[in-house]
Structure 1
Amino acid sequence: MYSCVRVFVGLLAVSRLCCAYENLALNKSAEQSSTLPSQADAGPMRAVDNNTDQILSSSGTNCARTDVSSIVWWRVDLGEIRSIHDIRVYYRNDSDGYVQNRVLSNAGFSLYVSDTTCDGYTGGHLCYKNNDTLPQLESDHLCTRHARYVTYYNERGEGVILPPKADRTQSTTIAELCEVQVFGCTVGIYGENCDKECPINCRNKQCDIETGACLQCNDGLKGERCDQNLTILMTVFAPQQANPSSSSNTTYIAVAGGLFLALIFSVGTTITLALTLRKLKGRQANNSTDSPTTEQSGNYVSVIGIRDSGHQYAHLGVNRTDSQDWRDSNQYLRII
């Protein structure tokens, strides 16, 4: 931790955003896209060793340096999700004769924070993109987010967004990061001295690092400190008063509709009664017929009538359409 200071470099003032937040990146695990072949010891850990000297040492090992490429990146793992306040970057700045070259190399860079590395080097939240002016060789960027990984990213090529006055003829660039500091607090703590606890009802104990306001509340709660019960309001709409003229029109339409339906019902009832009477008359006419009943099955026709005979069963007479004896073949007449 350190106290707030303001550093003047020539006529350019660099305001430090952080006062006493913890350097969360110090001695944490880091990686980068490549390492300059001539400086094998200029690996990614050189940017988290608490050495902010921007003048390259004779051994060239006090800064992390990638190889020249169209895409360069450097990333630090904070070990777990932390509450970040700001990110400060110290670039190589050891020669006045080549200061412009250092600036142009870093032009267009981006800073990302993320919870995972699964989305690539540009996944997560974009905290800063250099696209308006050429960058300073020491810069501080506000980034109040909760994240685990912090990534520096830069590229060259067609369609890449660069600030005005950047050299767009370059097809490659290099990252020379002497120190990257990530200031913030442990999750659940806020305040510039990291000495205040987030409200107990903040979801995942995450609150704004400056104000302590909860980023989200536990279920059923609301408010900056999540100390109020969530009320669900139901709006009931009162019926609108009808227009008198429209009301009378509606009444007329209803009466007319009722009369029409009554007429249809009356006609339908009359037709139904007429059909029913017609069927009944037809049945009565059939029942009053005196002719004998004729039954037909296959080729046999039996006529049942009454004959005057003295035999007990002689009154049953049968006429057949063929010459065979009806007693031998008729399956429908039996003497009981």
Structure 2
Amino acid sequence: MFFYVFKFSIIVICFCRAYEDLSYKKLATQSTTSTGGVYQYVASNAVDRNETTCMRTEPIGPNSPYKSVWWKVDLGGKYNIQNITIQFKSYDGYEMQQRGRFAGFRIYASNTGNINGSALCYEDKSQLPPLYFTTTCTASARYVIFYNDRIDEVTYPEGYEVLHSFPTELCEVIVMGCSALGVYGVDCAVPCPFNCRNNMCDIQNGKCLACEPGWVGDNCTIKCHEGWYGDDCAQQCIGHCRFYFCDHVTGLCDKGCAAGWTGSFCNETCADGRFGMDCFQNCSSHCLNNSLCDKETGHCDIGCEPGYNSENCTKGIKELQRETPPPPPDAALDPLGMGTYTVFRPLAITGCLSNKMMAIKHGSAPDLPYHFTSSPTHPL
């Protein structure tokens, strides 16, 4: 594994642990191409690893129809980027002039090839850039874009070249990172955490650049709090899930719906004639005047048709009577609560107890100290 280091027109090749060169001989394009001279100043010169060949655009500035310039390399896929190095064209004795020309440039990492919506990796501001420039750019991207401008209405910092038009000349643009997906570290050998979105993580420390839906945290190991789901756990469960919780990834009610609701997200009410959890049950056919039942409880809204009298109008009155347990013994007849009761039977008695009432305990003969004969005067 090796990388290239450019400094003062000398190439140093270091055989050591390092990131990989992602831009070498990849497809490069630019806004304009200079037509002057005998050399071909095409965009690919900046990725050929030959610092003596440079790309060059048409001039930008006050005397030019061009006010901005861009150069772009397509890495051929979405990769984890760690740093970007640019070798600007240098002329002996004109270093400050060249630095003033390149001043104000920006570098973007993009997945679309357009600056809009891209990640800004670097923006040169008041200080003039060195002609050998390196910046850290930890991003997951397919394109790297160089951009600069000289807009007539803009006031630029001191040292910027604004009086004369000038071309942009890049001799080498080196994008370093990992060509393999889902890894990080200087050897590009450590797997990214499991729940990183698209299996992409910070190329240096392994932190997920984003999490798969349903997970949060630096390493995406924290499950969404109950009642929330989706990207960054920012979406609230919207339906009427059974037990109030939905799937932390999809938002679906995987444990079913509460009474009165149906659908994958439990956000649809039961159809007429259905009720209960997941709308699984049918309303009774004995609701008064074929009226609807409550979609949660199944109770008939306006009552039952004649002959039916249960909560859901599913049982007739006679059936309910058969199922009704007998009432408890009357306390006045069974004061001891022994499950027996006393009846009074008029008797015709010969002897000293004539015209009296004798209490007979139900289920047993009376234990009386009298000898008598009796005959009922009224049947029980």
| TM-score class normalised by the smaller sequence | 0.5 to 0.7
Aligned partner of residue 93 in structure 2, secondary structure:
helix
| The 10-residue stretch of structure 1 (29-38 or 155-164) with the greater mean CA deviation from structure 2 | 155-164
Sort the Cα spacing of 1:101 and 1:123 in 2 relative to 1 into closer, same or farther, 3 A. farther
Who is 2:151 aligned against? 157
Q: 1:106 aligns with which of 86, 102, 105?
A: 102
**Residue 40 of structure 2 corresponds to residue 46 of structure 1:** no
Amino acid at match of 2:205: T
Q: TM-score, normalised by structure 2?
A: 0.51
Alpha-carbon shift at residue 68 of structure 1 (Å): 1.2
Q: TM-score, normalised by structure 1?
A: 0.58
Sort the Cα spacing of 1:99 and 1:111 in 2 relative to 1 into closer, same or farther, 3 A. same
Sort the Cα spacing of 1:102 and 1:123 in 2 relative to 1 into closer, same or farther, 3 A. farther
In 1, Cα distance between equivalents of 2:172 and 2:156: 23
**Residue 178 of structure 2 corresponds to residue 181 of structure 1:** no
Aligned partner of residue 102 in structure 1, secondary structure:
helix
Who is 1:20 aligned against? 18
Amino acid at match of 2:124: N
Amino acid at match of 1:142: T
In 1, Cα distance between equivalents of 2:26 and 2:83: 17
Contact 2:3 2:19 in 1 (8 A): no
Who is 1:77 aligned against? 74
Contact 1:112 1:123 in 2 (8 A): no
In 2, Cα distance between equivalents of 1:80 and 1:160: 36
Amino acid at match of 1:2: F
Question: C-alpha deviations, 1:12-63, integer Å up to 9, x for none?
Answer: xxxxxx971111111100001121112451200000011235xxxxxxxx11
Q: 2:185 aligns with which of 188, 191, 208?
A: 191
- Alignment coverage as a number of residue pairs: 214
Aligned 1:141-156 pairs, distance under 5 A: 141-156=135-150
**Residue 61 of structure 2 corresponds to residue 64 of structure 1:** no
Who is 2:84 aligned against? 87
Alpha-carbon shift at residue 179 of structure 1 (Å): 0.2
In 1, Cα distance between equivalents of 2:47 and 2:92: 25
In 2, Cα distance between equivalents of 1:20 and 1:173: 36
In 2, Cα distance between equivalents of 1:26 and 1:3: 10
* 4+ aligned runs moved over 6 Å, structure 1: 3-9
Sort the Cα spacing of 1:8 and 1:27 in 2 relative to 1 into closer, same or farther, 3 A. closer
Contact 2:6 2:132 in 1 (8 A): no
Sort the Cα spacing of 1:140 and 1:52 in 2 relative to 1 into closer, same or farther, 3 A. same
Aligned-residue Cα RMSD (Å) equals: 2.7
Who is 2:338 aligned against? none
Who is 1:136 aligned against? 130
Sort the Cα spacing of 1:100 and 1:48 in 2 relative to 1 into closer, same or farther, 3 A. same
**Residue 224 of structure 2 corresponds to residue 230 of structure 1:** yes
Name the one with the larger helix percent.
Answer: 1
Question: C-alpha deviations, 1:261-304, integer Å up to 9, x for none?
Answer: xxxxxxxxxxxxxxxxxxxxxxxxxxxxxxxxxxxxxxxxxxxx
Amino acid at match of 2:85: R
In 1, Cα distance between equivalents of 2:156 and 2:182: 38
Question: C-alpha deviations, 1:149-186, integer Å up to 9, x for none?
Answer: 1111111123446343223323x331100000011113
In 2, Cα distance between equivalents of 1:77 and 1:2: 21
Aligned 1:252-331 pairs, distance under 5 A: none
Alpha-carbon shift at residue 112 of structure 1 (Å): 1.2
Q: What percentage of aligned pairs have identical amino acids?
A: 39
Contact 1:198 1:206 in 2 (8 A): yes
Structure 2, unaligned runs of 5 or more: 10-15, 61-66, 229-380
Amino acid at match of 1:176: E
Sort the Cα spacing of 1:202 and 1:30 in 2 relative to 1 into closer, same or farther, 3 A. same
Structure 1, unaligned runs of 5 or more: 10-17, 54-61, 235-336
In 1, Cα distance between equivalents of 2:76 and 2:3: 25
